[in-house]
Each structure stands twice: as structure tokens, then as C-alpha cells.
Amino acid sequence: MADSKKVLNELRTKLRCASIAQIGGFLPPANPMTSWFGKGCLPVGELLPVWNGKPLFPLLQIRISELPFCPPALDDVEMLVLFHNDSYYRNNGQHGDGWMIKEFQSLKGLQFIPTSSYSSSIKPFPIHWLEVDDDAPGWEDAWEIVDLDPVNKDENASDAFFDEFNRYSMTKVGGYPTEIQHGVGNLDEFVFQVGSEEKPNWMWGDNGIGYFFKSPTGEWRWSYQCY
């Protein structure tokens, strides 16, 4: 019992800050160069990235200065746009294989992409960000951080692991990847996730989550899970 409490207390010291996306429910801002779900920008004159002969669409745009919490991987970025295709996603597909992330160090020269230039069923919504400081890992990922064996042997402690810790499954920047069926892993390189969001009409499979990671050399990769 004492060991399990000690482990849970240690885990409480490992909680992470995150910026949680509040999607819609307010008027679009006067300045369009802000965070959006289903809308994004590119430099003037630059065409949409293309995959299998079709343009990708902007799934998520993050204006970094709006984030109450920003992970170090985005310190030198002013605007990030995640592009995706409208019909298929390949788990662990390489950057450019049906998805692409573009990072901009300045807003200068950026303009919004007209919706008529791509195909998407998403309804665009602006985003507000809310900071949390208590995002916890899921069961499998937590084993990478603490030894949960004492918790696993203590029914009350196991219940506390799931009942007393917050895990945010919506679109967020920072924090821990919210696992669904199994551990996501690669916790040190996790940057943001995109949840299945009802308002914009976006879903990964059956209420899944897409996870996005950035290596120390600046290379992006992704994976997803669903029910």
C-alpha cells in the first residue's frame, strides 16, 4: 500500500502542461491570422501540397503565440499548419504521404487558402486555447515514467490511477499523447495531437486520435489510434 501511494505521488510530479483547443462557440476574430480547425494559410503564390494527384487541405492551424503553453519543439515557429487528405490515412506514414506539416517563422507574406481550392467536408472553426498543468499519461505510457508494479498489485491504487488523474483526449499541444487501445510511446518527441472533433466534422476512424512527433533534428512523424 505504501509503495503504491509513493508511486502515484511520484507520477503526480511528472504531470505535464498542455494547451487545450476550445473549438468554436465564439465569433471568428477580426484578425484571420489565428488558430483554426479546418482552415489555414500559405505564403502568397505557394500552391497547396499535393498527394496522389489531389491537393491536401488544412486540417489544423496553430498560431504559436496564442498558446498559453508551448513545447520547446515549437519555440522557433510562429505559425504551424497541418495538411491532410480527405479520404485516407496510413498509420505511421512518412511526412508527405497523405499529410504534411508546414512551419513558418514569420506571418509576413502569409495568406489564407480559399476553400474553393481543395475538397473537404470539414466546417472551419476558430480556436481558443486553455492551459492545463495536470495532463497525465495513460496506463501503458506511464510505465515509461514510473514503475507501476506496486500500483498494479493494489486495487485501490489502480482505481486511483484512472480516477484521480486527468487525461485530455481532445486536440491539444503539449502534454502526453492520450492512448486509446495501447501505449503511444515516444513521449519525449510528442508535440501535439488532433482529436476527433464533432463540431468541425472530423474523425479518425472510430473516435480516434492522431499524434504528431518531432525529432531533435526537426523531422515530423505521426501515428493514430481508434476504438
User: Could you read off the pLDDT of 132-175 as tens digits, one per residue?
Assistant: 999 999 999 999 999 999 999 999 999 999 999 999 999 999 99
- Put simply, whether the predicted model's pTM sits higher than 0.85 gets the answer yes
The CATH number assigned to the domain holding 133 equals 2.30.320.10
pLDDT tens column, 14-44: 999 999 999 999 998 888 899 999 999 999 9
Q: Is 38 left (phi over 0), alpha (psi -120 to 50) or beta?
A: left
Q: Domain of 123?
A: 2-225
In the predicted model, what is the mean pLDDT of the chain? 94
Number of domains in the chain: 1
